[in-house]
Structure 1
Amino acid sequence: MAAAVECSFLLALGAAAPAADAAEVKVMSTVALTPTLDEIIPKYEGSTGNKLMVIYSTIAELKKRIDAGETADVMILSRPVLDGLQIQGKIAEGSIVNVGRSYVAVGVRSGAPKPDIRTADKLKTALLAAKSISYADPAKGGASGVYFAKVLDRLGIADQMKSKTTLVPGAEPGQLVAKGEVEMCVAQASEIAAVPGAQVVGPLPGDLNNAIVFAVGVGSMSKDPAAAKSLIELLTGPAGVAVLKSKGMDPA
């Protein structure tokens, strides 16, 4: 299987390789795609000769930078944000493609007992029983952190959770549970699944569940849209989808 995926990578890259001189491709990406891109980047660069310069941050922070005038050849954000940027003329018309879908999930250390979170009441009980928890700081704009803060309010336990909560800038909650620094984390399922030593318990239950569709588009000011499209074709093609699934994300 690994050999087949590797072969499909090379075939896809060989077909997408530009005939012109190698390009430097700037990418602005949500941290949720970090595990996927980290695996794709060296293969893409090695086979095309193109150089990728990737900026990872929260969706809110990246949008703020784009609104302030920064741009990139390739932008990977949530679908609604990219659609809005296309309306503003900052994404090339018709270039947006869905990449994958992830949901806000609970995670614990690999091998640890999985708490029962099948209903809102059971999730509330599990959260109150946890000695410590981590999620993305809502003030930093991380989508999962902003959403989970609202969940805690809905459950009526926001104040009770504060003293045992470690807020982090981005995708670090899974790393903290893997290291044993916190007992439980809440983050995108793809971010938790990508961390050795962390395991996904499951999505938030019932109507507390929240899925995000991530998409990719070509910046309207891209100096090399062909190189940008070659990366998108790889990311959304069979080889890219295989990596995406291995990192805990569902194809969109």
Structure 2
Amino acid sequence: MSSVNILSGGAAHGLVGSLAAAFKAQTGFEIAGEFGAVGVMADKLRKGTPADIIVLTATLVAKLAEEKLVVATSIADVGLVETALAVRTGDPQAVVRDAADLREALLASDAIFVPDTKASTAGIHVANVLDRLGIADEIASRLRIFPNGATAMRELAASEARRPIGCTQSTEIISTKGVILSGSLPPGCELATMYTAGITSAAAHSRQAQELINLLIGAEQHQQRKRAGFVSGQDQAPT
């Protein structure tokens, strides 16, 4: 069976997976590839990892187009994804209305599950927020850092900590069993990131890659994107 190869941020994993059956019925192709921290995925493309399509942050995709690794005319926005808080299913939700509430919730947690703080969108943002809140050193020993948000959320679900919390992109929280979305980050600490798809310059299956992009951004999939945690159009999240 032929496959379209994708390199994607973990934020799009759930959405891409939900479209796999429709894509196969439409094209006869499977979807193969990797999902992870956006910086890692971009570097994989730069180093020659075979890929037909990428789904990364808009900033990274634009840069890859400048580097002639992505076809500029193929670039299309999929939607915005918020960085949000997560708790284990059954745990009390964290009520976070402002930065002071967020600071209190983090200080009250004995384990904080986050993605790569140097290469992932959410992880980099979390590190910046901790600095801004003045608690980076205080909670450093409680940080549980994983290669991507999906792994961090699986580990949160399995955690035996007394009061763990997680912070990553909402799409990764929604698609992980055993954790629930506990709310957005408060004003002044929030982040909504645009994710964008594009066909790589070295694509072996550019036609099928375009069909996958059409599925990802199509009006017919609006509710599917919304359920997966993407926000766009009339229900666009604040930036």
Residue 102 of structure 1: CA displacement?
0.8
Matches within 5 A, 1:5-154: 23-139=2-118, 141-154=119-132
Equivalent residue letter for 1:85: L
| Structure 1 SS opposite 2:74 | coil
What is the one-letter code of the residue matched to 1:236? I
Greater Rg over alpha carbons, structure = 1
SS of corresponding position for 1:117: coil
- Inter-partner Cα distance in structure 2 for 1:24 and 1:137: 28
Q: Which runs of 4+ in 1 moved over 6 A?
A: none
Q: 1:212 to 1:146 in 2, by over 3 A?
A: same
* Deviation of 1:71 (Å): 4.6
Q: What 5-or-longer segments of structure 2 have no aligned partner? A: 234-239
Q: Which residue of 2 aligns with 1:217?
A: 198
- Name the structure 1 match of 2:222: 241
Deviations 1:67-102 (A, max 9, x none): 233452111110111111112221113111100211
Secondary structure at 2:180's aligned position in 1? strand
| TM-score, scaled to structure 2 | 0.89
Question: What is the letter of the counterpart of residue 105 of structure 2?
Answer: A
Give aligned pairs, total: 230
C-alpha displacement of 1:222: 1.8
Alpha-carbon distance between aligned partners in 1 of 2:205 and 2:178, rounded to the nearest angstrom: 40
Q: Secondary structure at the match of 2:72?
A: coil
**Is 1:193 aligned to residue 171 of structure 2?**
no
Map of 2:236 onto structure 1: none
Match for 1:162 among 135, 140, 143?
A: 140
- How much does 1:23 deviate? 4.9
5+ residue gaps, structure 1, are 1-21
- How far has the Cα of 1:125 moved from its partner? 0.9
Q: Secondary structure at the match of 1:212?
A: strand
Amino acid at match of 1:120: A
Question: Root-mean-square deviation (CA), in Å?
Answer: 1.8
Q: Provide the C-alpha distance between the structure 1 equivalents of 2:227 and 2:183, rounded to a whole number of angstroms.
A: 16
Q: What is the CA-CA distance between 1:159 and the residue it aligns to?
A: 1.3
Encode CA deviations 1:97-124: one digit per residue, 9 max, x unaligned: 1002111111112232222211111111
TM-superposed deviation, 1:143: 1.3
